[in-house]
Amino acid sequence: MKRPDEIKRRYDDACGTAHALELLGERWTLLVLRELMLGPRRFSDLREDLPGISARVLTQRLAEMEAKGLVVRYRLPPPASVQVYDASDWGREAEPILQTMGRWAARSPGHDPSLPISAVSVLLSFRTMIDGERAGERDGVLRFVFGERVYTGTIAAGRFTVAAGADAAPDVTLAGAPEQLVGVAYGGAPLELLGVEGDAELARWFFSLFALPEKVTG
């Protein structure tokens, strides 16, 4: 007597938080959305950057998220012709949720920044954790290179934005693993850990804009 599509676990609760949990609260959902925040990815990209997710669960989550309007699925134009998943406009509006959670969790005594991390996570964390006051000191364009993937970050008028691709001409190009970027930005590791081309002084200043907040008194 099972009707897997009809019986869904709901919270019968008008509270907005409860409704958000119905849309985003299943295991992996928010992390899948995170990976799509900076542009389309393929199924296997997602598997790589979500360590531990099984193909079965990823398939399910993507289908549910598409049905809920959080995710869109389409095929890239030829010659690529591969299927990709992307966040919908509405899905992207959930970024403040990721940020608020990230900011809160950074103060947790149990937070371990030495675990593996994805490229998208690091770049989003920059958007979350940047010192907005000091970011206004100067402008600049930074290119982040993770193997084949390239993102462009822009600081202008005190705001940091980041997008996939190598659109703008960068002042400085930074290459390295996401974990190394974390080390330099939050862990006080030397800039030399990364491949740096261009305005190293800008890079140094950029990384000085980040610091993990103090932990709550455990």
CB of 43 to DNA, least distance (A): 3
- Give residues in contact with DNA (CB under 7 A): 1-4, 7-9, 26-28, 42-45, 52-57, 59-60, 62, 82-84
Binding-site partner at residue 83 among a copy of itself, DNA, none, CB < 5 to 8 Å by type: DNA
* 160's tokens: 């940091």
Residue from 75, 107, 134, 138 touching a copy of itself (CB under 8 A): that is 107
130 belongs to the binding site for a copy of itself (CB under 8 A): no
* DSSP string over 164-206: ES--SPPSEEEES-HHHHHHHHHS---GGGSEEEE-HHHHHHH
Three-class secondary structure of residue 148 per DSSP: coil
Please choose, from the candidates 41, 40, 183, the residue with its C-alpha nearest in 3D space to the C-alpha of residue 125.
183
CB of 172 to DNA, least distance (A): 30
CB of 74 to a copy of itself, least distance (A): 18
CA atoms within 13 A on the CB side of 55: 2
CB of 121 to DNA, least distance (A): 18
Residue from 32, 46, 106, 155 touching a copy of itself (CB under 8 A): that is 106
Residue from 1, 157, 169, 216 touching a copy of itself (CB under 8 A): that is 216
Q: Which is nearer to DNA, 83 or 108 (CB)?
A: 83
**C-alpha R_g of the chain:** 19
Three-class secondary structure of residue 43 per DSSP: helix
CA atoms within 13 A on the CB side of 12: 0
Please choose, from the candidates 160, 124, 154, the residue with its C-alpha nearest in 3D space to the C-alpha of residue 140.
154
Interface ranges with a copy of itself (CB under 8 A)? 9-25, 27, 30-31, 34, 50-52, 68-69, 89-90, 93-94, 96-118, 121, 124-125, 128, 179, 182, 216, 218
